[in-house]
Amino acid sequence: MSILLKFSSFFLFFIITSSSLHSAEKQEKLLKQSWSFDGLFGKFDRASLQRGYQVYTEVCASCHSMNLLSYRNLSEVGGPSFSEEEVKAIASKVEVLDGPNDNGEMSVSYTHLTLPTKA
């Protein structure tokens, strides 16, 4: 009789603890996010991608390089969707050391769209 009592109390303890664990799991709900690029027809928000590029150049670029990208990538699909004119304006502000010319002199010129981004 006492073996049966021990067994049934152990069984009861197991049921109670496992069901309380189970209900604790159910209470955990993941935070639901809503993104413009969700789903099959989702798309990136152009303005926020461009703000992201601005944050990158002003904050992140001091430590993280983007030298595997070229300026022309900024106007390509999947990027921040700048127009080609806007990319030219961005690239024209970046000075690069050019040369040497025939006289062996180096000069400063402005970057070309196919060059890697300078950051």
Residues that bind ligand HEC (CB under 6 A): 55, 59-60, 62-64
Cβ closer to ligand HEC: 1 or 63? Answer: 63
Residues 8, 14, 20, 21: what is their CA dihedral angle, to the nearest 10 degrees? Answer: -170
Cβ closer to ligand HEC: 68 or 108? Answer: 68
Least Å from the CB of residue 25 to ligand HEC: 27
Structure tokens at 52: 């992201």
Cβ closer to ligand HEC: 6 or 51? Answer: 51
Q: Which helix (H) or strand (E) holds 54?
A: helix 46-58
Distance CA 15, CA 38 (A): 41
Least Å from the CB of residue 13 to ligand HEC: 42
Distance CA 21, CA 28 (A): 11
Least Å from the CB of residue 61 to ligand HEC: 8
